[in-house]
Structure 1
Amino acid sequence: MGQEIDHVIFTAAERTEFARRLAEETEALIEECTLSGTADDTRLLGLELETCLVDRETLRPAMCNQVFLSRLDSPLASAELARHNAEFNFAPLPVADAMLGRLHAALRHQYTEARRVAAELGSDIALCGILPTLEPAALTLANISPLNRYLALNRQVMQAHRGTAFGLEIKGRDHLVQPLDSVMMEAATTSLQIHLRLPAHEMRTAYNAAQLVSAPLMALCANSPLLFGHDLWAETRIPLFEQSVGLGGFAAAAHGPVRRVSFGSGYAKRSMLECFEENLAHYPVLLPILDDSGARYPHLRLHNGTIWRWNRPIVGFDEDGGVHLRLEHRTLPSGPSLIDMVANTALFVGLVRHYMDQDVEALEFARVRSNFYEAARYGLNARIDWLDGLRHPVCRLLKRTLLPAAANGLGRLGIDPDDRDRYLDVLERRLDSRQNGAVWQRRFVARYPGDLVALTAAMLEQQVSDTPVHLWE
């Protein structure tokens, strides 16, 4: 979905031809990846960070991303769905040595520069899974980023929903019912997306490990409890994003478990390539844009970009033209601070590496998926099933088992011990304080009921100082 397109209305002939090319590219990708050697030892990590632009006076959304991006003039920054959103990409780093510290420095540099440019527009940058001051009136088509790919996405989703009820219903501490007339509600969510590339022969076990560890990671890192003043899930981004698009697969599965935004349908049995086979078999094409530019796998990549698994494969290319797969992990919210996001990334990478060597499939996938939604809803109060066959309070599991496992995984990847310990210590202190971003927001609202502007101001102040969330008051 990051590529721009030149029109928004599609013919039946375009759909037929796109489907043909998609089938050909799926077969070709599987053949190319199967025939490629396994000598590759590349280990790289990259990030995408979605942010909110807010007015410095009102602390409400600032609809200025086009001017902001023009002035920032960075090839690593781009518009997101709504005009108050901007995304920042970070060049991939080798997974070794002091990678975490270098990542922190890159985040700090980009954040500082973005704030400088935003200030020229009377705005600021907020790092939050859901902006507390956001209101439904901000999420209308009048505020969609003026890019054809977003206009086309909205048109296609709304056509697919024609004649059916379409809306949000999220039951958490409060109960929110919100009718929808566009995909703009998706723009309420901002994420930190991790891209992990490992040697080709390790990607299947990495994908399965990522599925397993998503639940405890979510519980510890939750940062989005509030939507339109309603206290919902610890990580409300999850049901919000899933319902904002809310489409199933082909007709027989339209209201079943095969959804366009989902936790996925199972472990990878042979290869992560199975996701592309599933894309072809189970998901109708949303954006049948025909590409004759000579780019490699353009139709497969575009189609994959309209299927939002919380862990999904991404096709990339090496400098010599060779194809590779990387794992995109999408569960983490933006924020609460830069150091927290680096610590969250360290936990993900370390846990994935550790559990690549374990029999993660010993825990049936249905329970892994159930764990994920339990963690998203209840955060640090969740109880989840684990590989030992027992159900654990997630904080105890993290403290006794998962933080040591992450330390082991990072060590095996060659991360410098001082670098590793600096960021895992942030997580340990978060656990000891029992305060992640979601808990802090709820505690603030309990002290100052209804004052979401003050909440946002306090959040921004702590982000500027890069204070880890366990120290926020």
Structure 2
Amino acid sequence: MGTEITARSFSREDRREFRRKVQACVTALERMLREDVFVDVHTSPEPQLGMEIEFNLVRDDMAPAMSNLEVLQAIDDHAVFQTELGQFNVEMNVEPGRLSGDATLEIEESLRQSLRRADERMHRHNAQLVMVGMLPTLELDHLGRDRITANPRYEALNEQIFAARGEDLELDLDGVPLPGTDVVEQLRADVNSVVPEAACTSLQLHLRVAPEEFAPHWNAAQCLAGVQVAIAANSPFLAGKALWHESRIPLFAQATDTRPLELKNQGVRPRVWFGERWIDSVTDLFEENSRYFPALLPEVSDADPNAELDAGTVPHLRELQMHNGTIYRWNRPVYDVSDDHAHLRVENRVLPAGPTVLDTMANAAFYYGALRALVEADEPLWRHMSFDAAEENLVLGAKFGLDARLYWPKLGWVGADELVLRCLLPLAHKGLESFGVSARARSRYLGIIEGRCLNRQTGAAWQRAQVARREGEGQDRRAALTDMMRDYVRNMRGGAPVHEWE
């Protein structure tokens, strides 16, 4: 959800002081790294990984339910379920846990129990939780400013993005033809709010790492981003249009773009950003944040981070955290303080939500395992792969899903499914084994990734095939999307992984 704020407007002096404080926070962070202030993740008993899942709310007729505040009040579990930007969204925070042994199986069961409790408590509100990257029944008239959740942070964020941009946002996306057709559908629209960002519901994976290990973990995560999206795509429809397999990727970038066309033409960097180079330290990313991006929410605290360090106190670096939370890297650095100990995390943000709890756990296991193996490899993969190639992989994986051909060192251009089956699944097994994950858990989750690649069926592929079939039988697009969503929700609740769906 992001750090809460108290102000609704900001002065020129607020912005100048916020810039100074962000720079002071970066200086304090560099000092903390030199003085070894961070908790040792190798000896700490604290959990090192976590998960956030964003959900859509739908009514019985599969239209979006604009009732997140009422639903959250009914669920009454504020430690787990929280608001999101759109009235048709909620976010679930899965309690951090370890990877070793059968712990992932326990996390899976805990996730199921939380969802069951939530469903039992919200059934009177004609709303149910759906795990999907973009809700196919969302229309443009669901994405107006009046659909922003009543929260000062969301309202201020909307105001500041449009103040920086100075004009309406443009959604401009060409789709990929549905099976059996050659029609390229187009989404063209001007919108007056950032609510289209709320249409992009994701799975966010966190991994706590030692400061000296942050750079290789971030670089490896960048290498994996395109593959992750290709094998987990689940966002093919919006506003009645068949778009990319994982349309979240371009839509999120457009929905938060503070740049009018002239600034784009000048090469000003977007706030949704893959990056532009491999890094050597986490400070590379925070320095880029400070150097390239003006503040959106310049709320200034009274804390002096260097004075706190002098006093032996761990600073929260609130301005650094606030600024970082409004720069949407697909792999984002996170600085945080827990139990008076500072730590760093890599937040992986490329994956869509769903389709099922089991698919979610499989996507997480594949990421953590492959990431670990790439970091522990004798030769860093990113020394043999250009940064531009990694970024192009993300675009291709998002557009074509399992049909994408991706670049990989020593293999060249290869199908996403073949890359996973031949190369990355063995690495993921090796990485999970290095984490201490049990053979039972490794087989359960990575077997799902294998089945998905062999059956060539992601959530997006299933949705697209269902809609194409229904339209071939004479249904119009709206009816096809609605009936497909009914089947999707039933399958999601059934719990079988998506590659087994009929």
Q: Same fold (TM over 0.5)?
A: yes
* Equivalent in the alignment of 1:199: 210
2:363 aligned with 1:360? no
Task: Check whether the contact 1:258–1:265 (CA below 8 A) recurs between aligned residues.
Answer: no
Taking the aligned partners of 2:266 and 2:399, their CA distance within structure 1 comes to 22
* Equivalent in the alignment of 1:452: 481
Could you tell me which amino acid in structure 2 is paired with residue 6 of structure 1? Answer: T
Q: In structure 1, the residue corresponding to 2:171 is in which secondary structure?
A: strand
Taking the aligned partners of 1:257 and 1:282, their CA distance within structure 2 comes to 8
- Give how far 1:257 is off: 6.1
Moved more, 194-203 or 270-279: 194-203
2:452 aligned with 1:430? yes
- Give how far 1:17 is off: 1.2
- Give how far 1:247 is off: 2.6
2:362 aligned with 1:343? yes
Task: Check whether the contact 1:248–1:283 (CA below 8 A) recurs between aligned residues.
Answer: no
* Equivalent in the alignment of 1:465: 494
* Equivalent in the alignment of 1:318: 338
Q: In structure 1, the residue corresponding to 2:123 is in which secondary structure?
A: helix
2:442 aligned with 1:403? no
Q: CA deviation digits over 1:191-240, x for unaligned, max 9? A: 00001112332221111100001111110000011111211111000000
What value does the CA root-mean-square deviation take over the aligned residues?
1.8
Q: In structure 2, the residue corresponding to 1:224 is in which secondary structure?
A: coil
Q: In structure 2, the residue corresponding to 1:331 is in which secondary structure?
A: strand
2:19 aligned with 1:19? yes
1:87-106 alignment runs, 5 A limit: 87-106=91-110
1:409-420 alignment runs, 5 A limit: 409-420=431-442
Q: CA deviation digits over 1:356-386, x for unaligned, max 9? A: 1242221010111111101100110111111
Taking the aligned partners of 2:126 and 2:266, their CA distance within structure 1 comes to 45
Task: Check whether the contact 1:5–1:289 (CA below 8 A) recurs between aligned residues.
Answer: yes
- Give how far 1:389 is off: 5.6
Instruction: Structure 2: state its 5+ residue gaps.
Output: 177-184, 305-314, 472-476
Could you tell me which amino acid in structure 2 is paired with residue 336 of structure 1? Answer: P
2:84 aligned with 1:55? no
Moved more, 24-33 or 435-444: 24-33
**Shift >6 Å, 4+ stretches:** 251-254
2:128 aligned with 1:124? yes
Could you tell me which amino acid in structure 2 is paired with residue 24 of structure 1? Answer: A
- Give how far 1:40 is off: 3.3
1:372-411 alignment runs, 5 A limit: 372-388=394-410, 390-411=412-433
- Give how far 1:22 is off: 1.1
Identity between Structure 1 and Structure 2 (%)? 35
Q: What's the TM-score, normalizing by structure 1?
A: 0.95
The size of the alignment, in residue pairs, is 468
* Equivalent in the alignment of 1:304: 324
Task: Check whether the contact 2:169–2:193 (CA below 8 A) recurs between aligned residues.
Answer: no
Could you tell me which amino acid in structure 2 is paired with residue 287 of structure 1? Answer: L
* Equivalent in the alignment of 2:309: none
Could you tell me which amino acid in structure 2 is paired with residue 309 of structure 1? Answer: R
Taking the aligned partners of 2:110 and 2:395, their CA distance within structure 1 comes to 32
Taking the aligned partners of 1:253 and 1:62, their CA distance within structure 2 comes to 35
Instruction: Structure 1: state its 5+ residue gaps.
Output: none
Q: CA deviation digits over 1:215-274, x for unaligned, max 9? A: 11110000011111211111000000000011359x977752621002122211x21221
Q: CA deviation digits over 1:41-76, x for unaligned, max 9? A: 1562100000011112x2111111111112222222
Q: In structure 2, the residue corresponding to 1:137 is in which secondary structure?
A: helix
Q: 1:189 aligns with which of 177, 192, 200?
A: 200
- Give how far 1:105 is off: 1.1
Q: 2:289 aligns with which of 258, 267, 279?
A: 279
Taking the aligned partners of 1:263 and 1:420, their CA distance within structure 2 comes to 29
Moved more, 33-42 or 63-72: 33-42
Q: CA deviation digits over 1:392-444, x for unaligned, max 9? A: 11111111111111001101111111111111111111111110001000110
- Give how far 1:291 is off: 2.2
Task: Check whether the contact 1:100–1:420 (CA below 8 A) recurs between aligned residues.
Answer: no
Task: Check whether the contact 2:144–2:191 (CA below 8 A) recurs between aligned residues.
Answer: no
2:259 aligned with 1:256? no
Taking the aligned partners of 1:442 and 1:222, their CA distance within structure 2 comes to 11
Task: Check whether the contact 1:248–1:255 (CA below 8 A) recurs between aligned residues.
Answer: no
Task: Check whether the contact 1:196–1:327 (CA below 8 A) recurs between aligned residues.
Answer: yes
* Equivalent in the alignment of 1:139: 143
Q: In structure 1, the residue corresponding to 2:350 is in which secondary structure?
A: coil
Q: CA deviation digits over 1:286-321, x for unaligned, max 9? A: 1111223787211110000000000011111232x2
Residues 436 and 313 from structure 1, CA distance in 2 versus in 1: closer, same or farther, beyond 3 angstroms? same
Taking the aligned partners of 2:246 and 2:15, their CA distance within structure 1 comes to 36
Taking the aligned partners of 2:266 and 2:117, their CA distance within structure 1 comes to 45
Taking the aligned partners of 2:209 and 2:109, their CA distance within structure 1 comes to 23
* Equivalent in the alignment of 1:170: 173
Residues 248 and 414 from structure 1, CA distance in 2 versus in 1: closer, same or farther, beyond 3 angstroms? farther
Taking the aligned partners of 1:412 and 1:158, their CA distance within structure 2 comes to 47
Taking the aligned partners of 1:364 and 1:34, their CA distance within structure 2 comes to 30
Task: Check whether the contact 1:50–1:192 (CA below 8 A) recurs between aligned residues.
Answer: yes
Task: Check whether the contact 1:219–1:376 (CA below 8 A) recurs between aligned residues.
Answer: yes
